[in-house]
């Protein structure tokens, strides 16, 4: 397990006008887990384009998910045929996938459809790094991930709200009390992303 995965694993213990896309159909082929570090927006890295994947930050892998098992409000990877690339999306209450989540977006780790109970996660992580787990439990850290320009989630800051930059519409959204609110500038609500920052489209 990489240093990033170890640190992130311990952190986890401490802790709309968008386009809608139906969850991908299942296939008879069992999809193998894919290394998250090898998968980018324009590289399959072993992913099957008809499947959807959850990101498992504990193992640093992308794991195929059946549409019936998609969890509302969780983040998943899907292939967008119209754009010819992999995108990240957020699941709605009906399990459809919304948004084409772009760089700079921030989501809490708990939004990534983690498997197992909190107790099971705690036991595994305390075994791997007990001292760090103890310190982080005391501090009450709520870890987040930030999407980089290559389409990979990296350990991010700890803001008060989660956010999404929708590359499909150019809109930005922030979640307050689990409800999305549009981020608006003086000339409207459309944004671009360049050099690590958002810029208003006038």
Q: 43-55: string of b/e by CB count within 10 Å (b at 16+)?
A: eeeebbeebbbbb
pLDDT tier for residue 117 given thresholds of 50, 70 and 90: confident
Asked whether 109 and 8 are in contact (CB, 8 A), the reply is yes
86: Cα separation from own chain's centroid? 13
Strands 197-200 and 191-194: antiparallel
Q: Which residues contact 28 (CB under 8 A, 6 or more apart)?
A: none
- Is 158's pLDDT higher than 80? no
Report how many domains make up the chain: 1
pLDDT tier for residue 59 given thresholds of 50, 70 and 90: confident
145: Cα separation from own chain's centroid? 7
Round to whole Å and give the CA distance between 191 and 37.
Answer: 28
pTM of the entire structure?
A: 0.76
Q: What percent of the chain has pLDDT over 90?
A: 46
Per residue in 71-83, pLDDT tens?
Answer: 999 999 999 999 9
- Is 145's pLDDT higher than 80? yes
pLDDT tier for residue 40 given thresholds of 50, 70 and 90: very high
DSSP 8-state assignment for residue 151? S
Supply the range of the domain harboring residue 117. Answer: 3-200
């Amino acid at each position: 397990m990489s240093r990033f995965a170890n640190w992130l694993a311990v952190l986890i213990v401490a802790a709309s006008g968008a386009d809608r896309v139906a969850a991908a159909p299942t296939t008879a082929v069992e999809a193998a887990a894919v290394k998250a570090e090898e998968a980018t927006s324009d590289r399959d890295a072993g992913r099957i384009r008809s499947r959807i994947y959850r990101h498992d930050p504990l193992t640093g892998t992308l794991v195929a998910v059946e549409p019936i098992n998609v969890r509302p409000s969780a983040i998943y990877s899907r292939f967008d045929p119209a754009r010819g690339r992999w995108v990240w999306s957020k699941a709605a209450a009906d399990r459809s996938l919304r948004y084409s989540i772009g760089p700079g977006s921030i989501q809490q780790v708990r939004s990534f459809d983690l498997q197992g109970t909190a107790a099971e996660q705690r036991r595994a992580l305390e075994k791997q790094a007990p001292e760090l787990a103890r310190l982080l439990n005391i501090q009450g850290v709520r870890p987040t991930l930030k999407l980089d320009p290559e389409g990979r989630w990296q350990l991010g800051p700890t803001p008060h709200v989660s956010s999404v930059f929708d590359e499909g519409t150019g809109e930005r959204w922030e979640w307050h009390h689990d409800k999305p609110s549009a981020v608006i500038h003086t000339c409207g609500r459309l944004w671009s992303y360049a050099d690590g920052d958002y810029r208003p489209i006038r």
